[in-house]
Amino acid sequence: MTVEPVTPESTLPYPPIHKDKKFVVLSDWDGTITTYDSNDYMTDNLGFGKAKRREGNLEILAGRDTFRDGFRKMLASIVAHGHTFEECKEILRANIKLDPGFKEFYAWCKANDIPVIIVSSGMAPLIRAVLSNLVGEEDANDIEIIANDVTVHPDGKWEIKFRHPSSGFGHDKSQAILPYRNLPNPPTLFFFGDGVSDISAAQHANLLFVKTKLDGENDLAVYCQREGIKHVLFDDFSKALPIVQSVVQGGKTIDDILA
Ligand SMILES: [Mg+2]
């Protein structure tokens, strides 16, 4: 699977680019900032179940299905089981937890003028609901979210509204990163991810952090190894923070870290 050369048209707006920063953090949400992927959680517990989900994930990784279509099937199975969007929101608020090091990581970035932008294939209203529950209203409103959206129909059924419906990724995450790379004085870009939804972004960061998964669902790590994309493995954000600090404070270069 490769990133499409054509810029896909976006159905949803982007926040303005931070033009004057030396460093920018972009991070996946599900399974990276959270300990468990909320869409996987819903599919496993409210939709067609884990075995079918993993089958679908592996089809995507093998290039036999697109992320967009595989993901749409997962979410449709939740709707088919009669679960409303509001119900899903409440279930996720009760069950999804934050990476144990993220709050401290975010506070350090904020204190050091480093924007943190969530780049997600999930649906923005669900991310906001869970984020405000975990980090509080103020920080939740500060953190930018570039994600997909949802359409809720009058009969209560709902479906994902993809940011890039013409892209096989649904949300082509490279489109959140590339405008930074194209600035006259581009910032150093840190990207954090864990899964197949991050494949579109993986190669565009200056320093890519890939989260190791205890459950063996190391899909992004497998992809990066296969494609020869250099990256740093991390268990949680408390392990990533000293590495980011060493680059920001000039103790180490990215080449040192990737060597
Ligand atoms: Mg993820």
Distance 252 CA to ligand 1 centre (A): 28
pLDDT of residue 6: 72
* Measured distance CA(18)–CA(34) in Å, rounded: 25
Query: 70-99, pLDDT tens digit by residue?
Result: 999 999 999 999 999 999 999 999 999 999
Beginning with the edge strand found earlier in the chain, give each strand of the sheet holding 23-27 in spatial order.
158-161, 144-152, 116-123, 23-27, 188-193, 207-211, 232-234
Cα-to-centroid distance, 236 and ligand 1 (Å)? 13
What domains lie within the chain, and their CATH numbers? 23-35+98-155+162-258 (3.40.50.1000)
Q: What is the pLDDT of residues 204-249, one digit of tens each?
A: 999 999 999 887 778 899 999 999 999 999 999 999 999 999 999 9
Catalytic residue among 30, 40, 99, 198: 30
Nearest CA to 94 out of 56, 126, 140, 138 is that of 126
31 Cβ contact partners less than 8 Å away, ≥ 6 residues apart: 37, 40, 194, 195, 211, 213, 217
**What pLDDT is attached to residue 7?**
86
The alpha carbon of 116 and the centre of ligand 1 are apart by a number of angstroms equal to: 16
Q: How far is the CA of 29 from the centre of ligand 1 (A)?
A: 6
- The torsion region of residue 54 among left (phi > 0), alpha (psi -120 to 50) and beta comes to alpha
Closest C-alpha to 93, from 161, 159, 38: 38
Is 30 tagged catalytic?
yes
What distance in angstroms lies between residue 122's CA and the mean position of ligand 1's atoms? 9
Q: Which of 20, 28, 65, 139 is catalytic?
A: 28
Residue 156 DSSP label = S
In tens digits, what is the pLDDT along the chain, a chain of 259 residues? 555 457 899 999 999 999 999 999 999 999 999 999 999 999 999 999 999 999 999 899 899 999 999 999 999 999 999 999 999 999 999 999 999 999 999 999 999 999 999 999 999 999 999 999 999 889 888 899 999 999 999 999 999 999 999 999 999 999 999 999 999 999 999 999 999 889 889 899 999 999 998 877 788 999 999 999 999 999 999 999 999 999 999 999 999 999 9
- Mapping DSSP onto H, E and C, the string for 119-150 reads EEEEEHHHHHHHHHHHHCHHHHHHCEEEEEEE
Residues 150, 85: contact at Cβ < 8 Å? yes
